């Protein structure tokens, strides 16, 4: 009887989570946890920018050389989320200042963070991709 009750609760939790995928950011119940921030970021990274996003990017193209390298690292193919130490190594930015640089990019809407299995993880936003692209075109 306890097993059937547990399965019924789990089935209900799964049903609720998947029926409202577009509305939840985190759901936890009966040993099941769904975090939609990760899925949203993956979709955002694979979507073409809108005209509004492209125009906004043109007004925010004031990247430093280090910030540009960080945004390039955050766009590495095959990865949606990156750890700060990995980004620091790839962007050749000192590990002691990478956290501040990533926080600054996040405050400007160019990056975002989440929670990974080994700590804080970072991803580029659609605006960040567009700003970095504008920066590359301008400095080419």
What is residue 46's predicted lDDT score, i.e. its pLDDT?
54
Q: Which domains does the chain have, with CATH numbers?
A: 1-47 (no CATH), 51-140 (1.10.10.10)
Distances, alpha carbon 14 to alpha carbons 4, 6, 33, 87, 117, in Å: 15, 12, 9, 35, 22
CB atoms within 10 A of CB 91: 20
Of 9-13, 16-20, 105-109, the poorest mean pLDDT is in: 16-20
Where does the pLDDT of residue 22 fall: very low under 50, low under 70, confident under 90, or very high at 90 and above? very low
Q: Rg for the chain (alpha carbons), in Å? A: 19
What is residue 101's predicted lDDT score, i.e. its pLDDT?
94
Question: For residue 116, is pLDDT > 90?
Answer: no
Rounded average pLDDT over 82-100: 93
3-state secondary structure of 113: strand
**CB under 8 Å to 39, separation ≥6 — which residues?**
21
What is residue 71's predicted lDDT score, i.e. its pLDDT?
93
3-state secondary structure of 82: strand
What is residue 57's predicted lDDT score, i.e. its pLDDT?
60
């Amino acid at each position: 009887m306890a097993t059937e009750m547990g399965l019924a609760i789990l089935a209900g939790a799964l049903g609720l989570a998947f029926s409202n995928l577009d509305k939840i950011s985190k759901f936890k119940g009966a040993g099941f946890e769904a975090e939609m921030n990760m899925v949203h970021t993956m979709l955002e990274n694979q979507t073409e920018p809108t005209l509004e996003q492209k125009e906004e990017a043109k007004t925010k193209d004031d990247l430093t050389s280090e910030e540009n390298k960080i945004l390039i690292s955050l766009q590495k193919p095959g990865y949606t989320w990156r750890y700060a130490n990995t980004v620091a190594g790839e962007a050749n930015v000192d590990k002691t200042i990478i956290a501040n640089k990533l926080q600054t990019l996040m405050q400007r809407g160019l990056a975002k963070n989440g929670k990974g299995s080994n700590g804080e993880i970072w991803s580029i936003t659609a605006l960040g991709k567009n700003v970095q692209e504008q920066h590359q075109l301008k400095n080419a």
